[in-house]
Amino acid sequence: MSVDMTKWQAIAKENIHNRIQATGRLAGKITIVTGAAQGFGKGIAEELYKEGAVIVIADMNLPLAESVAAELGERAWAIAVNVSDEESCANMVAQVVEKFGGLDIMVANAGVVRSGPIADFEKKDFDFVTAINYTGLFLTCKYAAIIMEAQHEADPTAMFDIIVNSSKSGLEGSNKNFAYAGSKFGAIGLVQSWAMELAAYNIKVNAICPGNYLDGPLWSDPVRGLFVQYLEAGKVPGAKTVEDVRRFYEAKVPLNRGCLPIDVARAVMYCVEQKYETGQAIPVTGGQIMLN
Ligand SMILES: NC(=O)c1ccc[n+]([C@@H]2O[C@H](COP(=O)([O-])OP(=O)(O)OC[C@H]3O[C@@H](n4cnc5c(N)ncnc54)[C@H](O)[C@@H]3O)[C@@H](O)[C@H]2O)c1
């Protein structure tokens, strides 16, 4: 059963023009970034904050989220969320509306990866990835949409954004990484469908499909990072060091480097500033993926 959001819809309607004063391209826009305690989410949050947004660092790791919010400054706030839990998602959105008066941008970024060959892959790992990357995406965006639809009623000229961090693995398959790729393809199906439905409320819904964030913790963590794992697993033929593995992945990219949070943040800003685009899946891959 859905969580009743009537009270927070009313608050959001009342406060539709009540935003914190700030300067920048996203001045005063109330923005949740899920999974923002580290990695891409953290970097995206930092860039959007610089552009004047009010930033909610929503993450399962509350202590880390709090330290990120403290680093950012007074327009940032941390909140605990488990995106795979419906009540937790509803509570996240309700608390943000209670504190800041509404919600303008939802960046649904939280995601996890479990990879491996199909014959060895455990159902629990498949369920884990699906619960966060796919079902969690639905739950995150459901409660954002509930508030944004109400805000539309208060001001039919206002525009809102739901922006989903999919992946280049949402645009083409990923070898021995099917649970992840399937969830990321699925995300684009959700985005296209929501874009059709929510256009009536001036809510744009777009996906961003970044390439590998080679400098981020997922890849570069010295103990559990994918460079170390791939080196140990012999996934890159002839690689003898972590640097060899890194160069192998960089060489796949025409622009010859990994994706950075600023690259993704620029795409987020494009989605917000562009008033005539919805339902897109935007590659940010240095040319590694080229759309037909
Ligand atoms: N790293 C890459 O190369 C890459 C490339 C393309 C797309 N992406 C996508 O970018 C997003 C972020 O990836 P990342 O590499 O920065 O990940 P990361 O592991 O560095 O960070 C993920 C964050 O999400 C949080 N999180 C995990 N499960 C959660 C849950 N159930 N509820 C709330 N928060 C949760 C974690 O605590 C962490 O802070 C993911 O959706 C990922 O699929 C990553």
What does the block give as tokens for 6? 């009537």
Q: Is residue 1 part of a domain?
A: no
Q: What pLDDT is attached to residue 282?
A: 98
Q: Do both 186 and 233 map to the same domain?
A: no
Of 34, 42, 56, 59, best ligand 1 pocket probe by most atoms within 8 Å of the beta carbon: 59
Identify whether the C-beta of residue 249 lies closer than 8 Å to the C-beta of residue 150.
Answer: no
Centre of ligand 1 to C-alpha 42, Å, is 10
Give the nearest ligand 1 atom to 169 CA. Answer: 6
Q: Do both 121 and 218 map to the same domain?
A: no
Q: What pLDDT is attached to residue 233?
A: 85
Q: Do both 170 and 56 map to the same domain?
A: yes
Q: Is residue 239 part of a domain?
A: yes
Q: Specify the number of domains making up the chain.
A: 2
Centre of ligand 1 to C-alpha 150, Å, is 29
Q: Do both 53 and 113 map to the same domain?
A: yes
pTM metric for this prediction: 0.97
Query: How large is the average pLDDT for residues 148-175?
Result: 97
Q: Is residue 68 part of a domain?
A: yes
User: In the chain, pLDDT over 90 holds for what percent of residues?
Assistant: 93
Closest by alpha carbon to 12, among 100, 119, 77, 81?
100
Identify whether the C-beta of residue 76 lies closer than 8 Å to the C-beta of residue 45.
Answer: yes
Query: Is the model's pLDDT at 44 over the cut of 90?
Result: yes
Q: Do both 204 and 221 map to the same domain?
A: no
Q: Do both 228 and 133 map to the same domain?
A: no
| Cα separation, 260 vs 118, whole angstroms | 30
Query: Is the model's pLDDT at 1 over the cut of 90?
Result: no
Q: Do both 72 and 60 map to the same domain?
A: yes
Closest by alpha carbon to 165, among 48, 29, 292?
48
Q: What pLDDT is attached to residue 285?
A: 98
Q: Do both 81 and 134 map to the same domain?
A: yes
Taking only the tens place, the pLDDT of each residue in 201-253 is 999 999 999 999 999 988 999 998 889 988 988 889 999 999 999 999 999 99
Q: Is residue 29 part of a domain?
A: yes
Centre of ligand 1 to C-alpha 251, Å, is 24
Cα atoms in the Cβ-side hemisphere of radius 13 Å centred on 59: 26
Centre of ligand 1 to C-alpha 78, Å, is 16
Taking only the tens place, the pLDDT of each residue in 67-88 is 999 999 999 999 999 999 999 9
Q: Which residues line ligand 1 (CB under 6 A)?
A: 34-35, 37-41, 59-61, 81-84, 109-112, 132, 136, 165, 167, 210, 212-213, 216-219
Q: What pLDDT is attached to residue 75?
A: 98
Q: Do both 117 and 238 map to the same domain?
A: no
Centre of ligand 1 to C-alpha 215, Å, is 14
The residue range of the domain holding 195 is 6-17+25-211+260-284
Give the nearest ligand 1 atom to 180 CA. Answer: 43
Question: Cα-atom radius of gyration of the chain, to the nearest Å?
Answer: 19
Q: Give me the DSSP letters along the chain.
A: -PPP-HHHHHHHHHTTT------STTTT-EEEEET-SSHHHHHHHHHHHHTT-EEEEEES-HHHHHHHHHHH-TTEEEEE--TT-HHHHHHHHHHHHHHHS--SEEEE---------GGG--HHHHHHHHIIIIIHHHHHHHHHHHHHHHHHHH-TT--EEEEEE--GGGTS--TT-HHHHHHHHHHHHHHHHHHHHHGGGTEEEEEEEE---TTSHHHH-TTTSHHHHHHHHT-STT--SHHHHHHHHHTTSTT-S---HHHHHHHHHHHHH-SS--S-EEEESTTSS---
Give the nearest ligand 1 atom to 85 CA. Answer: 31
Q: Is residue 161 part of a domain?
A: yes
Q: Is residue 163 part of a domain?
A: yes
CA distances, 87 to each of 65, 81, 109 (Å): 19, 9, 18
Query: How large is the average pLDDT for residues 150-171?
Result: 98
Q: Do both 56 and 160 map to the same domain?
A: yes
Centre of ligand 1 to C-alpha 35, Å, is 6
Of 107, 218, 220, 224, best ligand 1 pocket probe by most atoms within 8 Å of the beta carbon: 218
**Residue identifier of the C-alpha nearest atom 36 of ligand 1:** 35
Give the nearest ligand 1 atom to 131 CA. Answer: 31
Of 33, 47, 112, best ligand 1 pocket probe by most atoms within 8 Å of the beta carbon: 112
Q: Is residue 91 part of a domain?
A: yes
What does the block give as tokens for 181? 């790729």
Q: Give me the DSSP letters along 58-117.
A: EES-HHHHHHHHHHH-TTEEEEE--TT-HHHHHHHHHHHHHHHS--SEEEE---------
Query: Is the model's pLDDT at 34 over the cut of 90?
Result: yes
| Cα separation, 145 vs 34, whole angstroms | 15
Q: Is residue 225 part of a domain?
A: yes
Query: Is the model's pLDDT at 100 over the cut of 90?
Result: yes
Identify whether the C-beta of residue 4 lies closer than 8 Å to the C-beta of residue 146.
Answer: no
Q: Do both 170 and 268 map to the same domain?
A: yes
**Residue identifier of the C-alpha nearest atom 17 of ligand 1:** 39
Q: Do both 88 and 170 map to the same domain?
A: yes
Show which residues are catalytic: 180
Give the nearest ligand 1 atom to 64 CA. Answer: 39
Q: Which residue has the tokens 């622009």?
A: 255
